[in-house]
C-alpha cells in the first residue's frame, strides 16, 4: 500500500484480542459479526451478497482485488458486509473487464476495510472459538480516535468489549430484500452474456448447453415467483437461462400475494440472519405448502421451508463460507464441491415425516439438502447458482423445471 493511503486501523474481538493493521476504504468504526470465507476468487460477489448483512468478513486468501471492480459481477446493487478484512489488497488491478479498484469502491459505499493483519491467525481464532463479534477501528475520525484511546485504558476497554459483545443482527431480511431486483436484466441479455463467458446451464452429467433455444425449451411458458429474502441476482439468472418467466416479490409479501400471481413454481431465496426470526414468512410458507405448488429453496429459503414443515434449526460454531465445501448426494453417493455462505443449519434429527435428507456436508455431516414427499418441493443449503464458484450442482435448477412440468 502506498504511504499516502496508510492509516492506523485494527480489529477488536469481543474476547479482547486486537489485530493491528492498516485501514483502507472508509474511515471510522463499525461493529459486526466476524466471520471468514475461503474463496480465492469471487470477492465482488461476496461483498454484494445480501446474506453477509451484519457481518465483518475476513478473506482467507491473501491477495484480494487483483481483477478490480466489475459491476456486472455484483449480486445486488450495493455492498452488504459491515466491514471487510484482507491480508493484502491490490491497488492497481488488471483485467479487461475492470472498471475500478477495491479501495475506491469501499470508500464510495462507506465500507471500512482492514488489511495487513495475519488473516490466518484470525481464522484460527474464529474456528476454535466460533463466530465472534468484532469492531474495526480505522483512521483519525473523532470516533476512531476515541476508540483507540479506550483500548489503552483497562476500564474503558472493558466497556468497549461489552459494547462489541452486545451487537446482534436483527430484522436482517427486511433490510436487504429487493436489493438484487434493481439490477435485473431480460432473459435474452442474461443468456447472451452468460454464453460469452461459458457460464451457460450445466446438466447433471457435466455437459454445458450453449444453445439458447435448447436451454430454454422445457421452461418456456412457466412462471416462477422468486420470493426475495436477500436474493443473489444469479438465482434469477439461472431461472431465466432455463426459459422460466421470473417475477420477484419482496420478503413482506403474503401467500395470498404470491398466489394471486398464479405461479407454476416458487423459488425461496437465500438471505441473512437467524431463520427463526422470520415468523411471518414461515407462517406464509405453511399456507403455500398446502397448495401443492412446486417449491425450490436455497440457503435461508431451505431453512425457512424446513421450519415451516416442522423441522428445527441451530446456529453452527463458525458456519460454512466459501466455494470449496464438499457435499454428498445421498441418492447416488456422489460428492460435489459447492459454494456456501451460512451460519445456521437444519437439524438432521428434526426432519418431520415425509422429509428426507438428500445432501449432507462431508466435513461435519450437517444437513445440506431435503426432499419432501408430501408436497412437491426440495431445498439445498448450498448455492447451486454459485458465481464465482463451482458449477457442479447447477443441474438442480433443471430438476426444478422438471418438478414444475410434472405438476
10, with CB counted inside 10 A (0-12, 13-18, 19+), is: buried
Helix (H, G, I), strand (E, B) or coil at 207: coil
Q: Position of cell 426440495?
A: 378
User: What span, in angstroms and rounded, lies between the C-alpha atoms of 293 and 101?
Assistant: 45
Q: Which helix (DSSP H) or strand (DSSP E) does residue 237 occupy?
A: helix 233-240
Among the listed residues 58, 284, 385, 387, the single catalytic one is 385
Whether 385 is catalytic? yes
330, with CB counted inside 10 A (0-12, 13-18, 19+), is middle
In the numeric block, which cell numbers belong to residue 134? Answer: 468484532
Q: Is 29 a catalytic residue?
A: no
Select which of 115, 299, 367, 387 is catalytic. 299
CA distance 84 to 106: 9
Retrieve residue 216's grid coordinates.
430454454
Give yes or no: 238 in active site.
no
Cα–Cα distance measured from residue 167 to residue 165, given in angstroms and rounded to the nearest whole number: 6
Q: Tell me, what DSSP letter sits at residue 202?
A: B
Q: What are phi and psi of 358, to 5 degrees?
A: -110, -35
For 378, phi then psi, to 5°, come to -155, 160
Cα–Cα distance, 123 to 135 (Å, whole number)? 16
* 208 CB-near residues (< 8 Å, 6+ apart): 198, 200, 201, 202
By annotation, the residues acting in catalysis are 299, 383, 385
Amino acid at each position: 500500500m502506498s504511504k499516502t493511503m496508510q492509516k492506523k486501523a485494527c480489529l477488536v474481538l469481543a474476547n479482547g484480542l486486537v489485530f493491528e493493521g492498516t485501514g483502507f476504504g472508509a474511515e471510522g468504526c463499525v461493529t459486526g459479526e466476524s466471520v471468514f470465507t475461503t474463496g480465492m476468487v469471487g470477492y465482488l460477489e461476496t461483498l454484494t451478497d445480501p446474506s453477509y448483512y451484519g457481518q465483518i468478513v475476513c478473506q482467507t486468501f491473501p491477495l484480494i482485488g487483483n481483477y478490480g471492480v466489475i459491476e456486472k459481477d455484483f449480486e445486488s446493487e450495493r455492498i452488504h458486509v459491515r466491514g471487510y478484512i484482507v491480508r493484502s489488497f491490490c491497488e492497481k488491478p488488471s483485467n479487461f473487464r475492470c472498471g475500478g479498484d477495491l479501495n475506491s469502491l469501499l470508500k464510495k459505499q462507506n465500507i471500512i476495510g482492514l488489511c495487513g493483519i495475519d488473516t490466518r491467525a484470525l481464522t484460527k481464532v474464529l474456528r476454535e472459538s466460533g463466530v465472534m463479534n468484532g469492531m474495526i477501528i480505522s483512521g483519525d475520525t473523532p470516533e476512531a480516535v476515541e476508540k483507540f484511546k479506550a483500548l489503552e485504558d483497562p476500564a474503558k476497554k472493558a466497556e468497549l468489549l461489552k459494547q462489541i459483545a452486545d451487537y446482534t443482527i436483527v430484522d436482517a431480511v427486511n433490510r436487504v430484500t429487493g436489493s438484487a431486483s434493481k439490477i435485473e436484466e431480460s432473459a435474452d441479455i442474461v443468456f447472451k452474456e452468460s454464453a460469452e463467458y461459458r457460464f451457460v446451464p450445466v446438466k447433471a452429467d457435466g455437459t454445458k448447453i450453449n444453445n439458447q433455444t435448447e436451454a430454454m425449451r422445457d421452461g418456456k411458458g412457466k412462471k416462477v415467483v422468486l420470493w426475495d429474502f436477500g436474493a443473489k441476482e444469479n438465482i434469477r439468472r439461472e431461472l431465466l437461462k432455463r426459459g422460466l418467466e421470473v417475477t420477484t416479490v419482496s420478503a413482506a409479501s403474503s401467500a395470498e400475494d404470491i398466489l394471486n400471481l398464479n405461479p407454476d413454481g416458487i423459488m425461496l431465496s437465500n438471505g441473512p440472519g437467524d431463520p427463526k426470526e422470520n415468523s411471518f414468512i414461515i407462517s406464509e410458507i405453511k399456507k403455500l405448502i398446502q397448495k401443492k405448488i412446486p417449491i425450490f429453496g436455497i440457503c435461508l429459503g431451505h431453512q425457512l421451508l424446513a421450519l415451516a414443515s416442522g423441522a428445527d434449526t441451530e446456529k453452527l460454531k463458525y458456519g460454512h463460507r466459501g466455494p470449496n465445501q464438499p457435499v454428498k448426494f445421498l441418492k447416488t453417493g456422489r460428492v460435489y464441491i459447492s459454494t456456501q455462505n451460512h451460519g445456521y443449519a437444519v437439524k438432521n434429527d428434526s426432519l418431520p415425516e415425509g422429509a428426507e435428507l438428500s445432501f449432507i456436508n462431508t466435513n461435519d455431516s450437517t444437513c445440506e439438502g431435503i426432499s419432501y414427499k408430501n408436497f412437491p418441493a426440495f431445498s439445498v443449503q448450498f448455492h447451486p447458482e454459485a458465481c464465482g464458484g463451482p458449477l457442479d450442482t447447477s443441474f438442480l435448477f433443471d430438476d426444478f423445471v422438471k418438478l414444475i412440468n410434472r405438476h
